[in-house]
Amino acid sequence: MVAIIDATKVGYSWMLLVRDPHEKENVYAREISSETTYAYQEAYANLKNKGFSFSAIVSDGRFVTVPWLFPNIPIQMCHFHQEQIVIRYLTLNPKLEAGIDLLELTRTLPKIDEASFTDAFKLWCKTHHDFLQEKTLNPETGRSSYTHQRVRQARDSIRMHLPYLFTFQKYPNLKIPNTTNSLDGVFKKAKVAIGVHAGLTQARQIKLVLSLLLSRG
């Protein structure tokens, strides 16, 4: 199956969820203490032991670039989360030309092919190279740091995830989603339910969330 994998905080607890978007079914849900590679490994091993096999993984970026986590399985980085990472560094209304151009380029992800995006990104890097190399001297410490650090961080995020942004185009027969939206909707339903039942103890909240996450649909 194609698997969408992610973790989020629901109520008091972190929940890790694995969803088959084609069957609209959550096949794994577990409370975790924190989002770690071990938690993902445990989910992967658990499902393999139950006879599941994976044709592709869709994730939000936290462990996309850990090559040994899902060996020999195509991985798709969620386009929505990539855009959110860039916005986190640049804001929704960047003032600098480099930031404006990079956010605009990022927003083309759902409607562009890999070669075109890669060429445009390389051109952006070349155009703004000198700007991104600018440094500012701290007169108190005598040390210098990059002036436009947040733009550099946004660039580095795209650079790191670039090999995983267009996996869905490389395997059209697998019909890999380019976002984790299917799973995000399920998490939202669980969070709404917790809001309605805010007076429940933590143990009862966990029981309620797991029952919702493992329900079909």
Express each pLDDT in 107-125 by its tens digit.
Answer: 999 999 999 999 999 999 9
- Which pLDDT band, with edges at 50, 70 and 90, does 106 fall under? very high
Q: Whole-prediction pTM value?
A: 0.87
pLDDT at 217 over 60: no
DSSP state of 164: G
- Which pLDDT band, with edges at 50, 70 and 90, does 187 fall under? confident
Q: Residue 209 and residue 150: Cα distance in Å, rounded?
A: 36
Question: Quick one: tokens of 109?
Answer: 């992800």
Q: Residue 144 and residue 141: Cα distance in Å, rounded?
A: 8
Q: Which of 91-105, 172-186, 193-207 has the lowest mean pLDDT?
A: 193-207
Per-residue pLDDT at 197 = 58
Greater confidence (62 vs 104) lies with: 104
Per-residue pLDDT at 32 = 87
**Average pLDDT value for the chain:** 89
Q: Which of 86-95, 174-183, 195-204 has the lowest mean pLDDT?
A: 195-204
Q: Which amino acid is at 188?
A: K
Per-residue pLDDT at 22 = 93
Looking at residues 93-105, what average pLDDT do you find?
97
Per-residue b or e along 161-190, where b marks 16 or more CB atoms closer than 10 Å to that residue's CB: bbebbbbbeeeeebebbbbbebbbebbeeb
